[in-house]
Amino acid sequence: AQKVTQAQTEISVVEKEDVTLDCVYETRDTTYYLFWYKQPPSGELVFLIRRNSFDEQNEISGRYSWNFQKSTSSFNFTITASQVVDSAVYFCALSEARGKTSGSRLTFGEGTQLTVNP
């Protein structure tokens, strides 16, 4: 069975600080997909990134960066120079590879509430 753990329940930082959100996953599959979503107070889950298990290259998108390490089963997310608008709950999720006719599902971590104070 697959599992995602986000050990940090809440993080509070001051604006312009860098912050890293941790994500550790468990799966028996050799091919899988990892995701990060942001959930602002409005409730909608906003897609941030998808990473394939066979691609360990780190990615940077503006102030966001992701560090994927298969050796430690981790997929951490860093926000550089945080802003108040980054305040939200962030979810890490895992999906296992399936054929086109099979179903798919996301297994989510517990989420990390990030508060960025001015």
Partner 1 sequence: KAGVTQTPRYLIKTRGQQVTLSCSPISGHRSVSWYQQTPGQGLQFLFEYFSETQRNKGNFPGRFSGRQFSNSRSEMNVSTLELGDSALYLCASSPRVAGGSDTQYFGPGTRLTVL
CB nearer to partner 1: give 63 or 105: 105
The tokens for 74 are 């981790």
**Strands 59-61 vs 64-69: parallel, antiparallel or unpaired:** antiparallel
Q: From 44-52, 54-62, 70-78, 80-88, give the range in contact with partner 1 by CB under 8 A.
A: 44-52
Q: How many CB atoms lie within 10 A of CB 114?
A: 21
Q: Which of 46, 60, 81, 84 binds partner 1 (CB under 8 A)?
A: 46
Within 10 Å of residue 24's Cβ, how many Cβ atoms?
Answer: 16
> Which stretch, 7-15, 16-24, 36-44, 59-67, contacts partner 1 (CB under 8 A)?
36-44
Tokens for 6, please give them: 């986000």
Question: Shortest distance, CB of residue 74 to partner 1, whole angstroms?
Answer: 19
> Cβ of residue 90: shortest distance to partner 1, in angstroms?
12
Question: What's the min distance (Å) between Cβ of 21 and partner 1?
Answer: 16
24 touches partner 1 (CB under 8 A): no
Residues that bind partner 1 (CB under 8 A): 32-33, 35, 37, 42-47, 50, 52, 91, 95-111
